[in-house]
């Protein structure tokens, strides 16, 4: 007999964009309503790259999510940091996010881009601060992550005690790397478990499913889904939920990002039930992340029930979610 409800203990979103000001006010509560905590990305218009910025941003997030049990796990934007800066920031952050700007199709050049960052990365390794990486080269769009895998290998070998998270992985090759290096971990989004490039550009062009890294091939999705459903212990849910106003999505030259935070848990329940059963969802959306990072989110449980819900056409009249206007079979029970 199928389960009609499922209670998740301390669900976590390990990769989240909350933005600032009005947008933070709109999307912050949506995440806080469903999750016990989230890893908050530091790529604001002015990147969060000092302890002072981090603390100020955490205040803003706390204010926007007040009234909810919700812990923001803060991150810094990678730059050269001194030992002192790292030591001061360490108690307040989950990790430092690196977007290797010099990474090219040529993996040697990519590693050189990492070379410049090595002294800070070594300090992070020594102080036990995790490195979160957006792993794409500047090569052909379908190859960017595959080409970057050599850089992940280089990092994992060079810094064996550094905890490295491959953020929002999209390829079977990245999944395979999880088993090749003890210190490599990964997040995966909701959409990359569900879609391929076909959904973005196989029929009509769908700007609302356009994100970076772009959705890849069916065999990539299959590998990601198998790892998630099987609760691979090194794989964590991270929505990469990224709100954009409708005007920046339905336009000529559309911004990248899919907004999924408020629908992620029920859609995951439906997906897990369909393919596998619900028993591994707890590990995927919480336990794995808690074991990997040793974090201790506040007590909170979220009950999902087999009650159909219609996904809104938009949030705040402007942010269009994945599956806008469609019905899904599960919903978050509001108590």
| Ramachandran quadrant class, 257 (left: phi over 0; alpha: psi -120 to 50; beta: rest) | left
In degrees and rounded to multiples of 5, residue 92 shows phi and psi of -105, 0
Bridge partners, 165 (sequence order): 132, 185
Q: Rounded to whole angstroms, how far apart are CA atoms 192 and 144?
A: 15
Q: Does residue 240 carry a catalytic annotation?
A: yes
**Of 53, 240, 287, 335, which one is the catalytic site residue?**
240
Subset of residues 171 to 200 that bind a second copy, contact rule: CB under 8 A: 196-198, 200
Among 69, 201, 226, 295, binds a second copy (CB under 8 A): 201
Q: Rounded to whole angstroms, how far apart are CA atoms 201 and 186?
A: 26
Q: Rounded to whole angstroms, how far apart are CA atoms 281 and 235?
A: 12
By C-beta, is 150 or 324 nearer to a second copy? 324
Among 62, 109, 222, 255, binds a second copy (CB under 8 A): 255
Binding of a second copy by 232 (CB under 8 A): no
- From the CB of 216, what's the least distance to a second copy, in Å? 9
**Which stretch, 35-43, 54-62, 77-85, 135-143, contacts a second copy (CB under 8 A)?**
135-143
Binding of a second copy by 207 (CB under 8 A): yes
Binding of a second copy by 222 (CB under 8 A): no
Binding of a second copy by 101 (CB under 8 A): no
Distance set, CA 70 to CA 43, 155, 298 (Å): 20, 32, 7
Torsion of CA 212, 151, 13, 9, to 10 degrees: 150
Binding of a second copy by 106 (CB under 8 A): no
Total residues contacting a second copy by CB under 8 A comes to 26
Q: Rounded to whole angstroms, how far apart are CA atoms 229 and 231?
A: 5
Subset of residues 139 to 158 that bind a second copy, contact rule: CB under 8 A: 140-142
With CA atoms as reference, report the closest residue to 228 among 263, 160, 274, 182.
Answer: 274
Among 254, 295, 309, 328, binds a second copy (CB under 8 A): 254
**Residues in contact with a second copy by the rule CB under 8 A:** 140-142, 196-198, 200-202, 204-208, 210, 214, 217-218, 249-256
């Amino acid at each position: 007999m199928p389960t009609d409800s499922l209670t998740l203990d301390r669900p976590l979103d390990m990769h989240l964009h909350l933005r600032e000001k009005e947008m933070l006010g709109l999307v912050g509560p949506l995440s806080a309503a469903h999750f016990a905590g989230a890893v908050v990305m530091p790529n604001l218009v002015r990147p969060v790259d000092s302890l002072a910025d981090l603390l100020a941003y955490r205040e803003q997030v706390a204010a926007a999510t007040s009234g909810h049990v919700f812990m923001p796990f803060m991150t810094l934007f990678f730059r050269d940091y001194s030992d002192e800066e790292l030591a001061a920031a360490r108690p307040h952050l989950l990790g430092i996010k690196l977007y290797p700007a010099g990474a090219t199709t040529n993996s040697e050049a990519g590693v050189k881009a990492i070379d410049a960052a090595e002294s800070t990365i070594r300090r992070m390794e020594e102080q036990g601060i995790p490195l979160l990486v957006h792993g794409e080269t500047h090569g052909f769009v379908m190859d960017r992550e595959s080409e970057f895998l050599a850089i992940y290998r280089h990092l994992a070998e060079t810094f064996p005690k550094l905890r490295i998270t491959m953020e929002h992985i999209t390829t079977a090759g990245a999944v395979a790397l999880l088993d090749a290096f003890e210190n490599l971990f990964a997040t995966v989004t909701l959409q990359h478990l569900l879609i391929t490039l076909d959904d973005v550009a196989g029929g009509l062009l769908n700007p609302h499913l356009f994100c970076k890294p772009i959705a890849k091939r069916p065999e990539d999705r299959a590998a990601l889904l198998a790892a998630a459903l099987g609760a691979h212990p090194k794989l964590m849910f991270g929505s990469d939920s990224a709100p954009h106003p409708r005007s920046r999505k339905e336009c000529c030259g559309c911004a990248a990002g899919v907004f999924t935070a408020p629908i992620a848990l029920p859609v995951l329940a439906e997906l897990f039930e369909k393919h596998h059963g619900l028993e591994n969802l707890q590990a995927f959306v919480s336990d794995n992340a808690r074991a990997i990072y040793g974090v201790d989110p506040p007590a909170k449980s979220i009950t999902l029930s087999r009650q159909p819900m219609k996904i809104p056409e938009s949030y705040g009249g402007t942010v269009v979610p994945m599956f806008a206007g469609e019905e899904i079979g599960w919903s978050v029970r509001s108590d």
